[in-house]
Chains A and B, each alone.
Chain A
Amino acid sequence: MLHVLSHLGHGQPTRRALRQCVINVRQSSARCSSAVLVLTSKLASNSFKLLLQQRARLLYCFEAQVMSFVEYSEFIQEGDVAIIFLGHDSMFPVKVQSGAQTQTRYGAIRHSTDLIGRRYGSKVTCSKGGWVYVLHPTPELWTLNLPHRTQILYATDIANITMMLELKPGSVVCESGTGSGSLSHAMLRTIAPTGHLYTVEFHQQRAKKATEEFCEHKVGHLVTVLNQDVCKEGFGVTGVADAVFLDIPSPWEAVAHAKSAMKKQGGRVCSFSPCIEQVQRTCAALAEHGFVEICTLEVLLRLYDVRSITLPLPDFGPEDLHQAQPVVPDDAAVTCRTAIAPREMAGHTGYLTFATKSLA
C-alpha cells in the first residue's frame, strides 16, 4: 500500500521543509510496512534523496514534473499557463482549468478533455474542426503574449542583458521598474533555482499585478516585489546583488542606490534608456560613483522571411532573322529560395549601458 507523504512544491525546497520531510519519512517508515512515496521537485538535490533513502525502509522518490516558467514538464496539468499556437505569429496564453472552455477562431477548446493530461506540443482539434498546438510556456513566449501594462523589453535586448550582466543560477539581481514583467520572467528563469530577484515598481497597480503573475507562474519563491520609488528608497537590500538593472526615466538618480545594493566584491550594472541624453547623464553618474568598464551599445534584430522567388528571364531576340521559334520562351524564369528582409524593421528600442562595480 502506497502512503503518499510529501509534496515539496516548486523550485528548491527550503531547509526546513527538507528537514521535516526527512522526519516524516522516518516516522512513517517506522510505523507502517508500506512504501512511502515522496513527490519532490526535479531540482531537489541528490544528497537529499540519499538521506531519504537511508531513513525509509522502502521508498519511492517520485519527481513530480511541475510546470513553471523555470522548470519543464511533460504533461499539461490544471493550473498551468499554456500557450495556444494558432499559426504564424498567432498565439495567446491560457490558464488551464478543468471545466473551462477557450474560444478560438477554429472553435472551442474544452480544457478537461483537450488539454489536461495531454502532452505539451500536442495538436488539439477544436470544436469547429480546425486545430491548434499547445506549447509549454517559456519567458520568450510569455514576452510575446503577456498583457502589456507598459512598453516591454523583447528577447533580443533581454538576451544581451542576461549575458552582459553575467546572470546564471544563483545570481542575486535587483531590478527597477518591474513594468509588465517581461524581463523579470526571463531573469527568474536564468537565476533559478538558487538565485533571487528584488524588483521595484513605483506604480501600485503594476506592482500588485506583477506579484500575482509571479505566483500564478509558480516563481513566487524566487522574487520579492517592492512598491516604492527606487530613486528615493533604493532596492530594499544592501550588499547582496551580483547585478542591477535599471529601466526608469532617470537612472542617474538610482546609481548610488544600485552601488549600495551590490556586493562589495563587485558586480555588474545595466541601464536601458531610449534617449541619448539619458545615456549621457547615466554614464556621467556611473563614472562619478567609481564604476568602470562603462560601455554603451545597441542591438538590432534583423528577421528574414524565407521565400521562393521567381525571376523572369528577358528575351534579347533572335540572332538569326530566319529563326522561327523565339530564343527564350515568354514564361522563362528562374526560381530560387532566398531570405527576404521585411519592408520595415524595428530600428530602435533603447541604448544599453553596462558597467562594473570595481573593488577600489
Chain B
Amino acid sequence: GSCLHKSVCRKSTFYSVQLRTMTNNGEQVDEQFTIKEGDFVVLQRGDVYKAVQIQRKRQVAIIFEKQWFFLDNAIGELFGSTFEVAAGGSLQPRKAKHPEIPAEAKEAGTDNRNIVDDGRSQKLSRDDIETLKEQGLKGQEIVQQLVENSTTFRDKTEFAQEKYIKKKKKKYENTLTIIKPSTRILASMYHGREPGKICHLRYDTLAQMLTLGNIHAGSKVIVFETCAGLVLGAVMERMGGYGSVIQMYPGGGPARAAADCFGFPEHFYQTLHEFPLCKVNALLGGTLSLDGEAKNSAGDHDTAEGHLASSASVQQEERDIEDGSPESMEASSVQPEDKEREERDRRKENKAQERKVKMEEKRKKLSAAAVLLQGRNADGLVIASRFHPCPVLLTLLKFVAPSRPFVVYCQYREPLIECYSKLREQGGTINLRLSETWLRLYQVLPNRTHPVLLMSGGGGYLLSGTTIDHNSASESGPQKGEEPAPKRIKLQETDI
C-alpha cells in the first residue's frame, strides 16, 4: 500500500496573532537592497526616469536631466537613496531631510486682481542665477533667493505661492533618487519617453495583460512582442524565475533591451527560451529539422552576437590577408612566410571551431524551445506587437492547452475586431472580451483636489479570452448564441 504523509497545507491561523519570523537575517535582506557595481538601476527626479547600469571601472559619465555625473558613489548605498549632484559630477548622498522653507505666517494675498504679469517681477537675471549656481548654492537656496527677489510673491495667494515654489524647486533641484527597476517604473518610463518603441502600450494596459493572462510562477507562457522586451520583462518579473517563458521572434533575433533593464538574476534567464516564427509552420507540421538550422546559420548570422563574432572574424581574416601581403612582398627568406601562413591557418581553424560550438549551442537552444512548444500545452499566450494580430494569434493559439487564458494587445481596434470575428468563426475559445482602460490621475491637495489637467488620450486595446478543448469545438455551434442576430432592416414606408 502507499504511504502518504499529510500534506503540508498549513491552515491559515485564525483568532490569534502569528508572528511569522522571516528566515532571512537582517544582513541578507539588506544585501538585495544595496546598490552594487553592475546592477541595473533607474535614476529618478520627479516623474522623469532613466534606466542605467552601474559601472565604476569605465568611469562612464551619465547624462540625466541636462546634468553629467558619475555613479561611483552610489555603490554601497541602499536603493531608494537620494543624492545631490556636486560640482565635478560626483554624487553626494543626502542623508538628513532638509527643513522646508518655513511655512509660518508668510505674507500672502487673497486673489490675483492686482497682479500684472509684465515679465519683470523677478529681479534676478539669468546670469545672476548662473552665478549663484557656480557659487555652489543648493537648489533649495536658489529657490529661496528667487522668492526673496520676486516683487509679486507676497501678493500671490498661499496656493499660488506653493505652486510657485514647487515649480522653481522642480527646475533648480539638484537631487536624484536611485531606485530598483520594476514593471511599474520601466513601463512608465518607456510610455513617457519612447512610446513608439512599445507600440504606445500604456502601463495600465500592460497591468491588465499580466492579470488577464494569469501570469504567475510555475507556468509556461508564450510571449510574442515587439515592445523592446518590456512585455517580456514584465512577464518574467511575474514568473519570478519559476516555470518557463518562450519568446517567439519575427526575424533576426529576439529584442530584449528593456528586459535587461530589469536586472534579473542569472537563473531567470535559464527559464527563458526563444523560437523563430519562421520555423513555426515546420514545428506544427512535424517537419522541423534542427540540422537545417545549423547549415543556415553559417550564412544567417541570426543573433546580434553571432553577427558581431562573424564580422569580427571576417575583419580579422581581412587583416591577416593584409598583413600577409606586404610582408610576403618584403620578406626575403621563405621561413617567416611559412610561419605566418601556419599562424593564419591555426587562427582560421580556431574560428571555425568557435563557430561550430556556437552553432551547436544554437541548435540545442532551438531544440529545447521546440520541445516546450511541441506538447501544445502552454499555460498562456501574450501578444503585443506591431504585426497584424490575427495570423499571430490564430497560429500561436495552437500551442496553448485548453482552459488557459490568452491576451492580445493592439494599438488599434479594427485588427482586434477581425481577430474576435475569426475566433468566433473557428471556435476553440470562449469569454472573448474586447476592452480598453481609461486612466485618470488626480491632484490631491487641501481645497485644490481635481483631476490633473492633461490626460492620456489612449492606451491601446486588448482582446482576451480562454481556450477550450479543440475537439469539443468541432461539434455544432453554441446552443445559446453569444451574439444577438444582426437586426433586420425595416423597409421604409413611403407615401407614394
Binding site for B on A (CB under 8 A): 3-11, 13-14, 17, 20, 39, 42-43, 70-72, 74, 85-88, 90, 106, 119-123, 130-131, 133-136, 138-140, 155-156, 158-160, 162-164, 166, 168-170, 172, 186, 189-190, 192-194, 196, 207-208, 211, 214-215, 218, 220-221, 223-228, 236-237, 240, 263, 265-266, 276, 279-280, 283-284, 294-310, 312, 330-331, 333, 335, 337-339, 351, 353, 356, 358-360
Q: Which of B81, B217, B440 makes the CB contact (< 8 A) with A43?
A: B217
Nearest A residue to B400, CB-CB: A121
Give min CB distance, A211 to chain B, whole Å. Answer: 5
Which of the residues A43, A160, A218, A240 comes within 8 Å of B204, measured between beta carbons?
A: A160
Interface residues of A: mostly helix, strand, loop or mixed? mixed
Interface residues of B in 102-125 (CB under 8 A from A): none
Contacts known (A70-B216, A306-B421); A155 close to B211, Cβ less than 8 A: yes
Instruction: List chain B positions with a Cβ less than 8 A from chain A.
Output: 2-15, 17-20, 22, 29-30, 33, 78-82, 95-97, 182-184, 187, 203-204, 206-208, 210-212, 214, 216-219, 237-242, 377, 379, 401-405, 413, 417-418, 420-421, 430-442, 444, 446, 449, 466-469, 472-473, 475, 478-480, 482-484, 486-487, 489, 491-492
8 pairs from A and B in contact (CB 8 Å cutoff): A9-B7, A10-B7, A190-B216, A192-B216, A225-B13, A300-B437, A300-B438, A359-B81
Partner of A265, one of B78, B210, B430, B475: B78
Contact A279 B486, CB 8 Å, known A133-B430, A155-B212 = no
**Contacting residues, chain A, for B8 (C-beta < 8 A):** 8-11, 13-14, 17, 221
7 A-B pairs closest in CB distance: A121-B402, A169-B240, A9-B7, A121-B403, A123-B472, A159-B211, A163-B207
- Closest CB-CB distance, A225 to chain B, in whole Å? 5
- Docked CA distance A308–B424 (Å): 13
**Complex: A8 Cα to B10 Cα, angstroms:** 12
Is there an interface contact between B212 and A163, defined as CB atoms closer than 8 Å?
A: no
A296 to B446, CA, bound (A): 14
Closest-by-CB residue of B relative to A197 is B12
If the complex has contacts A140-B212, A169-B240, A302-B437, are A339 and B417 also in contact, measured as CB distance less than 8 A?
yes
Report Cα–Cα, A8/B6, bound state, in Å: 8
B242-A266 in contact (CB<8A): no
A122 cross-chain contacts in B, Cβ below 8 A? 402, 468-469, 472
Partner of A138, one of B12, B214, B435: B214
How far does the alpha carbon of A294 sit from the alpha carbon of B242 in the complex, in Å?
A: 32
Complex interface: chain B residues within 8 A of A72 (CB): 218-219, 379, 404
- Whether the Cβ atoms of B3 and A4 lie closer than 8 Å is yes
Instruction: Determine how close the nearest CB of chain A comes to the CB of B453; give it in whole angstroms.
Output: 14
Q: Give the secondary structure class of B's interface.
A: loop
Query: Quick one: given A218-B9, A299-B204, A299-B438, are A237 and B19 in contact (CB under 8 Å)?
Result: yes
A120–B8 Cα distance when bound, in Å, is 25
Interfacial chain A residues near B405, Cβ < 8 Å: 138, 140
B9 shortest CB reach to chain A, Å? 5
Cβ–Cβ contact A301 & B417, under 8 A = no
Interchain CB contact under 8 A, A307 and B20: no
- Closest A-chain residue to B420, C-beta based? A306
The answer to whether A296 touches B472 (Cβ under 8 A) is: no
The answer to whether A220 touches B11, judged by C-beta atoms less than 8 angstroms apart, is: yes
Known A224-B18, A283-B444, A307-B483; contact A6-B4, beta-carbon cutoff 8 A: yes
User: In the complex where A43-B242, A163-B184 touch, is A189 in contact with B12 (Cβ < 8 A)?
Assistant: no
Task: Enumerate chain A residues within 8 angstroms of B421, measured Cβ to Cβ.
Answer: 306, 337
Q: Given contacts A221-B8, A310-B489, are A189 and B214 in contact (CB under 8 A)?
A: yes
Residue of A nearest to B488 (CB): A310
* A86-B480, A87-B478, A186-B211 as given contacts; A214 in contact with B12, CB under 8 Å: yes
Cα–Cα distance between A6 and B3 once the two chains are bound (Å): 7
Complex-state Cα separation, A298 to B479, whole angstroms: 39
Closest chain-A Cβ to B24's Cβ sits at a distance in Å of 10
For A71, the closest partner residue in chain B by CB is B218
Q: In the bound complex, do residue A263 and residue B437 qualify as a contact, i.e. CB atoms below 8 Å apart?
A: no
Contact B479 A130 (CB under 8 A): yes
> Given A87-B478, A221-B8, are A162 and B210 also a contact pair (CB < 8 Å)?
yes
Shortest A74–chain B CB gap in Å is 7
Q: Give the distance in Å from the alpha carbon of A266 to the alpha carbon of B492 in the complex.
A: 69
Given contacts A72-B404, A227-B14, could you give 11 more A-B pairs where the C-beta distance is less than 8 Å?
A123-B475, A140-B211, A159-B210, A169-B242, A220-B11, A265-B30, A296-B442, A299-B439, A307-B483, A307-B484, A351-B442
- B486–A299 touching, CB < 8 Å: no
